[in-house]
Structure 1
Amino acid sequence: MSSGIKALIIVLALVIAALTLASLSMKIGQQPSGEQQVQTIGGFGTIEALSTTKEQQSFMMNFDGKTLAVTGFATVYAEPDRVYLRLAIETDEPYKNATEAYSEVILKAQKIINELKKEEGVVSIKTEYVNLHPMFDYVGGEKVLKGYTASYAFQVEISDLSRAGEIASKAVTLGINRLYGLSFGLSEDKRKSIEKEAIGKAVNDAKAKAEKLAESLGVKIVGVRNVILGTPTTTPYYPVKYYGVTLAVAEVAPPMPIETGKGVAVSATVTVVYEISEE
């Protein structure tokens, strides 16, 4: 090997060594002082490794094993103070044109509604739906229009449960020929009152569960961190036997028996996060 090549190799080696030393010096100079260290991982970014301070330990303890979350449930059955009758009048036979069918059922429904509004205990009446249907026959394999049928349905809200059966029977006498729904509910004031009762019982249920868990875990409840209240739900009572009953119009109909069953269910859910400490 010539002396010139040897000299070039020596110079390159010295340059590489100098660059390496400079790089190390820069890393040492940029090293953060104190408790924070920064490491570059594969050129993709940095990860900060913090040493644990007393303040950080307190934060971790507050959110790690120092709370106990439980959910309480409660359902209260209340005696209903509302009955909802869903009634309908339907044409028995198809009419030749739509106007006749529609007019017939509307006029009959209006007459019945006007009479029911006079009844003691009727709070409100609202329309549920109005239907107009074409009827067809098949003659020689062809679809032929036979006529039109119509129906009008409405809901009657009754506050006096003792009169609900009598009012339903009168509706039949007036011309109603279909009972498609009967349910029991609560007035606004009573619903709010029962909801408060259900929420209170749900809170007591959560507290009892938390105390039992704390005793089993050997910890002590020292406070409440958070409370989450679910939306209370009211489930009306629907007697299944009254669904979709077709009624024959009668001059005098006997009073319909009305039984409220267990009542209207009002449910509440409460989640409570308790703060705990070791015994």
Structure 2
Amino acid sequence: MTKKLLSVLGLAVLVATAGCLGGVQAASSDDTTTKTIDVSGSETIYATPDQVVLHIAVEATGDSASDVRDQLDAGAADLTSSLESQGVASEDIVKSRYDLAVRDRESGETYRGVHAFRVTSDDVENAGFLVDVALSNGANRVDGVQFTLSEETRADLHRQALAAAVADARGDADALADAANLSVTGVQAVSTSDVNYVYSGSVSTASTEIRESSVAVTATVSVTVTAA
């Protein structure tokens, strides 16, 4: 549990709670002065990914720039059409990189090119199959596979994590107030940092098998409550 420092200005009272310290403040010893308690809370929610992002590419070499360009164009056309036939929308197959350069500068004869794509699909369970389809139809390189959350799911979990983090902070505030013979009377301020998302997964080759894991969504908030 997050440690919090409890200090009563003007009263010089230090209160320790079980595994948790917070801050109680008063402007003076006047009982009518508003006292505040500063606490923080956090929550982590684990969710099953509902989206997969494939980073795949067509790579080619040749003795001329036009030869390499033709190979890249043909591979890209095969790649996109094969993925679309498996239900991937054309707008979810996005070109992320295109390079064409001399590979052997001494002779000036050999060229190398890369046409890379970012492919997004909600068919998470068949991520490995989509990789195999890509590698069998134009692509010859896989730069990574990422399991993630759709924007709608991300927003929903974001709100859930924030609400739970605020509840965690409020519980600590109540405990601190009770230990100081006070009662929470309201909320003065609430702030939060960016919500963190941690993704995981694993890939094994053969007929490509990809095992998705969970996505951890963590929210942290700071809350200032008033007490009397």
* Structure 1: gaps spanning 5 or more residues: 1-55, 138-142, 248-252
Aligned twin of 1:153: 116
Aligned twin of 2:72: 105
Mapping for residues 1-279 of structure 1, pairs under 5 Å: 61-62=33-34, 66-91=35-60, 94-120=61-87, 124-136=92-104, 143-237=106-200, 239=202, 254=207, 256-261=208-213, 263-277=214-228
Relative distance call for 1:217 and 1:133 in structure 2 (3 A) is farther
Q: State whether residues 74 and 138 of structure 2, in contact with CA within 8 Å, keep that contact through their aligned partners in structure 1.
A: no
The CA deviation at 1:100 is 1.9
Q: Output the TM-score relative to the length of structure 1.
A: 0.64
Q: Output the TM-score relative to the length of structure 2.
A: 0.77
Q: Deviations over 1:152-196 (max 9, x none)?
A: 110111112222221111111113211101011111221121112
Q: Take 2:220 and 2:71, find their aligned partners in 1: how far apart are those partners?
A: 50
The CA deviation at 1:218 is 3.5
* Structure 2: gaps spanning 5 or more residues: 1-27
Q: Take 1:136 and 1:121, find their aligned partners in 2: how far apart are those partners?
A: 37
Q: Percent identity?
A: 28
Q: Take 1:57 and 1:209, find their aligned partners in 2: how far apart are those partners?
A: 24
Between 77-86 and 128-137, report the one with greater CA deviation. 128-137
Higher helix proportion? 1
The CA deviation at 1:208 is 1.8
Rg comparison, structure with higher value? 1
Q: State whether residues 75 and 138 of structure 2, in contact with CA within 8 Å, keep that contact through their aligned partners in structure 1.
A: yes
Q: State whether residues 72 and 270 of structure 1, in contact with CA within 8 Å, keep that contact through their aligned partners in structure 2.
A: yes
Q: State whether residues 39 and 172 of structure 2, in contact with CA within 8 Å, keep that contact through their aligned partners in structure 1.
A: yes
The CA deviation at 1:121 is 5.3
Partner letter of residue 209 of structure 2? Answer: P
Q: Deviations over 1:83-133 (max 9, x none)?
A: 111101111xx3222222122112211221122112135571111101112
Q: Take 1:218 and 1:110, find their aligned partners in 2: how far apart are those partners?
A: 72
Which secondary structure does the structure 2 equivalent of 1:131 belong to? strand
The CA deviation at 1:238 is 5.1
Q: Take 1:237 and 1:127, find their aligned partners in 2: how far apart are those partners?
A: 24
Relative distance call for 1:106 and 1:121 in structure 2 (3 A) is closer
Q: State whether residues 206 and 271 of structure 1, in contact with CA within 8 Å, keep that contact through their aligned partners in structure 2.
A: yes
Which secondary structure does the structure 1 equivalent of 2:164 belong to? helix
CA RMSD in angstroms, aligned pairs only = 2.5
